Amino acid sequence: MRRAAAIGIVLALALVAGCATRRPDEATPYAQMGGQDGVTAIVDDLLVKISDDARINAKFANANIVRLREKLIEQICAEAGGPCVYTGLGMHEAHAGHGIGAADFNALVEDLIEVMEARRVPIGAQNRLLKRLAPMYGEVVGP
């Protein structure tokens, strides 16, 4: 009985994995986001979304939006595997002292996901980009 159960679980997992692997996408998230134009459009959408997001827009009240846009495009392009070099501040340096909490970080992540979904970025590319951005949590969130 227990062996049958174990086999059942393995089969179910294999089925799930099989469904998930049916569509291989080896291209970089950068390519799947539509290259430089796609990344730029996503950052522009994201900035609009942030300015409409009452949860976090106050945190950006004093930001230099032109510079923020330029650095975000560089950073997302670079993290997505594109041919860019991020030239902005370190994440800790840029956010220290701004009192950014877990809820603020997650609000931005949700806005980014919504923008990528609206732009029909494939889920695998979305998730691989999120995986690259997630380690920044520890540097951004703090007192």
Partner 1 sequence: MSARAVRSLVRFAVAIAAALLALPAAAGDGRLLATGGASQIEGAAGGGLVPWAVLSGYGSDGQNGATAFATHVDSGDYALDALGVAVTLRNRVEFSYTRQRFDLGELQHRLSLPVGAFRQDVIGAKVRLGGDLVYTAMPQIAIGVQRKRQLDFDIPRAVGARGDRGTDIYLAVTKLYLAGLSGHHLLVNATLRSTDANQAGLLGFGGDRKSGRSLVLEGSAAVMLNPRWALGVEYRQKPDNLRFAREDDWKDAFVAWFPNKHLSLVGAYADLGSIATLERQRGVYLSLQAAY
Which residues contribute to the site for partner 1 (CB under 8 A)?
Answer: 1-2, 5-6, 8-9, 12-13, 16-17, 20-21, 24-25, 101-104, 106-107, 109-110, 113, 117, 122-125, 127-128, 130-131, 134-135, 137-138
CB of 7 to partner 1, least distance (A): 11
Choose between 68 and 113: whose C-beta lies nearer to partner 1: 113
Tokens 């949590």, located at residue: 137
One-letter amino acid identity for 90?
A: G
Please state, in angstroms and as integers, the Cα–Cα distance from residue 24 to each residue in 11, 16, 88, 123, following that order: 21, 14, 33, 12
Contacts of 16 (CB under 8 A, 6+ apart): none
Choose between 7 and 65: whose C-beta lies nearer to partner 1: 7
Q: CB–CB of 87/77 below 8 Å?
A: no
CB of 51 to partner 1, least distance (A): 20
Choose between 9 and 65: whose C-beta lies nearer to partner 1: 9
Choose between 11 and 89: whose C-beta lies nearer to partner 1: 11
Q: CB–CB of 78/94 below 8 Å?
A: no
